[in-house]
Amino acid sequence: MELLSLPDLMQATGGTLTGAIPDDLSIERISTDSRSLIPGSAFWALQGETHDGHDFIAQAQQRGAALCVANASNAPALNGPMLLVPDTKKALMDLAHWYRGTLDALVIGLTGSVGKTTTRDLIHVALASEFEGIRSRKNFNNTIGLPLSLLEADHRHEFIVLEMGASRVGDIAELADIASPEIGVITAIGPAHLSTFGSINGVIQGKGELLESLPSTGFAVLPGDDPVVRQMADRAPCPVIFVGEGDDNHLRASRVHASFQGLQFRVDGVDFLIPVCGRHHLTNALCAIAIAREIGVRLPSVAQGLACFEPIEGRTRLKEIGPWTVIDDTYNASPLAVAAACRMLPDLEVPGIGRRILVLGDMRELGDTAAIEHQRIGELAAQQKIDLVLACGQHADDVARGAESAGMSQHCIAAGPDLESIKAVLDCWLEPGDVILVKGSRVTRMERIVEWIAERAALEAALRGDYRQRNCA
């Protein structure tokens, strides 16, 4: 972040200063966590569902905060320098909006029902082969995370990639108003957050707000093989670039092949090999390539950069764990994402492959459609000829019911209420060479299944070692 003067902060937030404040005070960092605060930072007291930052202002001052930003209505009576505002969250958004106006960096906003984080990282890697830029961290994609991500940029950065999340109509419009993106990407549209969006039409309306926010001088990148997303193109007041495999796309991939080594394809005569698991990542990669090509990055440089891409933990990470291959896709789950993963599993070429096993936790925030969506996933798993299905959670029986109705044997299906019950089944089922896909919504903690598989592999290796030692004695 560039240094912010007190006049800057007051202009951006409309706040009022209190306490003894040096005339030359400037801020080079914003912190919302008093525990990790660096001396000289401004501590922003935000009110959350479980904690109120105002309770930690004294601690922030003790840790060296140069300034504390607080709500005027409930700021503590302390002598340290403070900036009082009507609402600290809105003040943070206002500051980020003001700060965005000071930046020369190209801002890229992306949203969608699935694939946002992976696409964000792919765009960053593709552009970083020739330009310097940053991307939003972790899951910083809401009205707090996005402003904090914007405020991390400085004069060195030539581009900023911002993930935009939404749970209701109006959320994306609010984020776009802060960030003023010049390039927009929609990865895919599907049933996600239906409990708050209300319907798939609500999702379409909400996600499309990103397109409406773009300037006429910008452009949008959309998956052209997705008829739902393609129909949204008319909402963009700027050129739209369609990507995919179909002939009617502006950027087309050919010779597409997904294997143990990664995703292989060709664009404009340049071969790409990206170390991601599954063909469904093709659209994400093409969105990144389209942006890079449009702003002048040479495709060979893009290919070289993407060849070094490393998926973050829990995002279709392929792991060799003992005698098994585990696809760790535990970060989150929606019907669209789970369906893509199910289609990937049978097609994935893995050396010495054994059975293909799906371990699925509940997909959350589906509202009244939850039961039918889980049943559909069970049906799809059976149709994709996945060998074994293990479902965990409140809707485990719905998954099992769907798989059985589509012809899968009862002996190949297991449903349990919790992780421990699934571990018990896996303990009996696992054989050397099995490929196990583990997926579920974040709150289901399916990463614990991956951890358990690693623990079991380590135990078996230790036991084998002990056996060999005894035989040699």
Which phi-psi region, left, alpha or beta, contains residue 378 (left: φ > 0; alpha: ψ -120 to 50)? alpha
**Looking at residue 438, what is its pLDDT?**
94
- Three-state secondary structure of 259-317: ECCEEEEEECCEEEEECCCCHHHHHHHHHHHHHHHHCCCCHHHHHHHHCCCCCCCCCCE
Can you tell me the distance from the alpha carbon of 399 to that of 417, in angstroms, rounded to the nearest whole number?
12
**Which homologous superfamily does the CATH classification assign to the domain defined by 103-306?**
Mur-like, catalytic domain (3.40.1190.10)
Mean pLDDT of the chain: 91
CATH for 317-461 is: 3.90.190.20
Domain ranges of the chain: 4-86, 103-306, 317-461
Cβ density class 131-142: b for 16+ within 10 Å, e for less: bebbbbeeebbb
Q: Which amino acid is at 277?
A: C
At 149-170, the pLDDT tens digits run 999 999 999 999 999 999 899 9
Query: CATH for 4-86, among 3.30.1330.30, 3.30.450.20, 1.10.760.10, 3.40.1390.10?
Result: 3.40.1390.10
Q: Mutual orientation of helices 6-13 and 88-100 as an angle, nearest 10°?
A: 110
At 197-238, the pLDDT tens digits run 888 899 999 999 999 999 999 999 999 999 999 999 999 999
Q: Higher model confidence: residue 263 or residue 464?
A: 263
Has residue 396 got a pLDDT over 70?
Answer: yes
**Looking at residue 352, what is its pLDDT?**
62
Nearest to 188 by CA among 223, 233, 137, 153: 223
